[in-house]
């Protein structure tokens, strides 16, 4: 089954979940706020797509981090630590498909996966 990871009030997550529902795609939602970030999955995402993709450096949470914290994110290990401490810094949604991982919502790319 497809798992969508994110935060329920995120507009992009809302769009992604609605799109999956509209396509009739069964999926499970994992709420970072209530369930936390699964460390094993985070490691998998970082390995699959790289920390630069997983960490949303354009978002509000990133901008609100202390400058020294932002400057310290330079590799997967430092990105992992920041993501675990601040789950909202993870670009959303992260989707675990049967054949891989995507970060962000792209209807055309998702349609090609179905």
- Residues annotated catalytic, as ranges: 10
User: Which residues fall within 8 angstroms of residue 41, CB to CB, at 6 or more apart?
Assistant: 5, 94, 96
Task: Tell me the C-alpha distance between 56 and 92, whole Å.
Answer: 8
* Alpha carbons 25 and 20: distance in angstroms, whole number: 5
Phi and psi, residue 50, nearest 5°:
90, 150
| 54-89 b/e (C-beta count within 10 Å ≥ 16 → b) | bbbeeeeebeebeeebeeebeebeebbebbeebbbb
């Amino acid at each position: 089954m497809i798992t969508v990871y994110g935060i329920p009030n995120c507009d992009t997550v809302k769009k992604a979940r609605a799109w999956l529902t509209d396509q009739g795609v069964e999926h499970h939602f994992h709420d970072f706020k209530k369930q936390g970030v699964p460390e094993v999955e985070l490691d998998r995402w970082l390995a699959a797509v790289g920390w630069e993709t997983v960490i949303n450096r354009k978002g509000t949470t990133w901008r609100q981090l202390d400058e020294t914290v932002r400057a310290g994110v330079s590799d997967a290990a430092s990105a992992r630590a920041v993501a675990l401490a601040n789950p909202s810094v993870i670009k959303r949604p992260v989707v675990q498909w049967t054949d891989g991982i995507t970060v962000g919502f792209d209807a055309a790319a998702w349609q090609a996966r179905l």
